[in-house]
Amino acid sequence: MTLLAQLSLAVVLLAFLFPPLQQDSPPQASMQHLLQRLSQCDFLSSGAGLSFAVSTLVRLDTLFAVVGGGHMPIPGANNINGSGVLIACKRLNQLRISPDLGTVHVGPGNRWVDVYRYLAPYNRSAVGGRVGHVGVPGYLLGGGVSFFGNEYGWASANVASFTVSSPAVLANGSIVTATPTNEYSDLFWALRGGGNSFALVTDFGLRTVPSGKVYVGTTTFDASVSGTQFLDKVYEYGLRAADDPKAAVIPLVEFSSGSTTPSYSAYLFYNGENAAPEPLEPFLSLPQTSRTFSYRTMYDWSLETDTELLLLTGFRQRFWVLPVGLNRTALQIIHDTYIDSVRQFSSSGIYLTALAVMPVPRTFFTASQKAPGGGDPKASTPHKSPTSGSKKASATRGH
Ligand SMILES: *[C@@H]1O[C@H](CO)[C@@H](O)[C@H](O)[C@H]1NC(C)=O
Ligand SMILES: *[C@@H]1O[C@H](CO)[C@@H](O)[C@H](O)[C@H]1NC(C)=O
Ligand SMILES: *[C@@H]1O[C@H](CO)[C@@H](O)[C@H](O)[C@H]1NC(C)=O
Ligand SMILES: *[C@@H]1O[C@H](CO)[C@@H](O)[C@H](O)[C@H]1NC(C)=O
């Protein structure tokens, strides 16, 4: 770490220990004192502290990174190398529902499991991560694909306000709230999918959805189900998906060390009390060996998946994303190429790989465009739908 970075780190700690009373006094003034405190590592616990830290780092021209929920498992994605300062939002973890239950205020230190746990007693949920393990801020600033997406659009389309500290917009370190109608409406628009470069969000005002419980779970298909059969069902789902936007799926092909053939499974979701909804019929009709699809809160579902995701702790992970239109031939090529690639991969270590085909129906975009607050800044083109995205993820144990 460079000397400048060390000095700046001390300033960040100051921001926590002594909230920003003296923004204009030179940081060097009490540097001796601060360096003595360097052994105490702590996390910012107020938006004002965050704002002070950021404006100071910008003034010192020091590189910094911010970690929100801390979910992304790619090396370096949640951190900065020795050339800068890492600001952790862990303690900016407020959760507060409005009296009419229509909005929940969420701090950037939360993961979706925290949001779902908080909302469950109110019989509410939010357009958030499909697994609870996912962090809130990176997901919302990047758009956010949700099980509720076909009905309500991108998760970011369901943000009613962002409270931010934005050196790009407000060099003086002020904290402002951007809404669709106030003087920061352009910032509001950009933050709905524009990524993490415009501002540091200290609070997200999210619309809640009146779905205390949903049908959600996994299903694992019998070994007799072939790749061809499975892809036929994925394609069939894609064709019908826009007919009932309460449904969502994540079809999965998995192929890991120790296996000679891939296995097929799916995450299934329906926003309603219906164990056999029409759009999910292609998957429910395939022979299955296990199924957890049941009526419960997103919090209960999070507990199920988070337990599984914890098994990946310590694995190095990589993701690749390939967007394609809904096309049966293309699905086959992607599937076959994936299988061939894994077959050629030889490693003495443990590896887990998965190909997740994520259908994004037309309703996903139309719902986003209808969201209160001015359309979808991602300029998606519903008329080109139905579309589907495909995503390949793999994890390898370090060796
Ligand atoms: C660390 O990150 C900075 C900024 O991205 C980059 O310029 C530098 O090359 C990186 N250094 C190493 C050793 O990766
Ligand atoms: C939530 O729903 C349950 C079951 O329908 C009901 O008993 C309970 O009163 C509801 N709670 C709130 C806060 O609305
Ligand atoms: C910071 O800048 C904004 C926008 O120009 C202004 O509204 C606000 O009053 C300023 N805050 C301070 C503390 O000067
Ligand atoms: C479907 O994908 C195949 C393979 O990439 C391509 O040759 C074909 O033109 C595509 N069909 C449509 C209708 O786009």
My answer on whether 68 and 13 are in the same domain is no
Taking only the tens place, the pLDDT of each residue in 274-300 is 999 999 999 999 999 999 999 999 999
The answer to the question of residue 399 being in a domain is: no
What per-residue confidence (pLDDT) applies to 397? 36
What per-residue confidence (pLDDT) applies to 34? 44
The answer to the question of residue 158 being in a domain is: yes
Question: Residue of the nearest CA to atom 4 in ligand 1?
Answer: 83
Which residues are CB-contacts of 167 (< 8 A; sequence separation ≥ 6)? 54, 55, 58, 173
Which residues are CB-contacts of 370 (< 8 A; sequence separation ≥ 6)? 153
My answer on whether 294 and 354 are in the same domain is yes
Does the CB atom of residue 330 touch ligand 4 within 6 A?
yes
What per-residue confidence (pLDDT) applies to 345? 82
What per-residue confidence (pLDDT) applies to 381? 62
Can you tell me which residue has the tokens 């019929």? 281
The answer to the question of residue 348 being in a domain is: yes
pLDDT along the chain (399 residues), means of 10: 28 27 41 43 67 80 86 79 83 95 96 98 98 94 94 94 80 83 91 86 95 97 97 94 94 92 97 96 96 97 88 81 92 96 83 90 86 69 50 37
Last residue of a domain, one of 162, 184, 211: 211
Taking only the tens place, the pLDDT of each residue in 338-383 is 999 999 887 778 888 999 998 888 888 888 888 776 667 776 666 6
- The CATH number assigned to the domain holding 192 equals 3.30.465.10
What per-residue confidence (pLDDT) applies to 42? 52
My answer on whether 195 and 251 are in the same domain is no
- Using DSSP bridges, classify how beta strands 125-126 and 200-209 pair: parallel, antiparallel or unpaired: antiparallel
My answer on whether 192 and 235 are in the same domain is no
CA of 338 to the centre of ligand 4 (A): 18
My answer on whether 315 and 248 are in the same domain is yes
Tokens of 374: 């001015």
What per-residue confidence (pLDDT) applies to 382? 61
My answer on whether 104 and 203 are in the same domain is yes
Does the CB atom of residue 327 touch ligand 4 within 6 A?
yes
The answer to the question of residue 398 being in a domain is: no
d(CA 362, CA 238) in angstroms, rounded, equals 10
My answer on whether 197 and 69 are in the same domain is no
Does the CB atom of residue 36 touch ligand 1 within 6 A?
no
CB 27 within 8 A of CB 85: no
The answer to the question of residue 225 being in a domain is: yes
Last residue of a domain, one of 181, 211, 241: 211
Q: Please count the structural domains in the chain.
A: 3
CA of 123 to the centre of ligand 2 (A): 6
Instruction: Write out residues with Cβ below 6 Å of ligand 3.
Output: 170, 172, 174
Domain that holds residue 44: 28-88
pTM, two decimal places:
0.84
Question: Residue of the nearest CA to atom 5 in ligand 2?
Answer: 123
d(CA 115, CA 174) in angstroms, rounded, equals 27
The answer to the question of residue 366 being in a domain is: no
CB 322 within 8 A of CB 392: yes
The answer to the question of residue 392 being in a domain is: no
What per-residue confidence (pLDDT) applies to 364? 85
My answer on whether 245 and 316 are in the same domain is yes
Last residue of a domain, one of 72, 88, 104: 88
My answer on whether 107 and 83 are in the same domain is no
My answer on whether 223 and 274 are in the same domain is yes
The answer to the question of residue 368 being in a domain is: no
My answer on whether 340 and 226 are in the same domain is yes
Indicate which ligand has the atom closest to the C-alpha of 336.
4
Within 10 Å of residue 30's Cβ, how many Cβ atoms? Answer: 17
My answer on whether 228 and 346 are in the same domain is yes
CA of 93 to the centre of ligand 2 (A): 26
Q: Is 34 left (phi over 0), alpha (psi -120 to 50) or beta?
A: alpha
d(CA 361, CA 150) in angstroms, rounded, equals 7
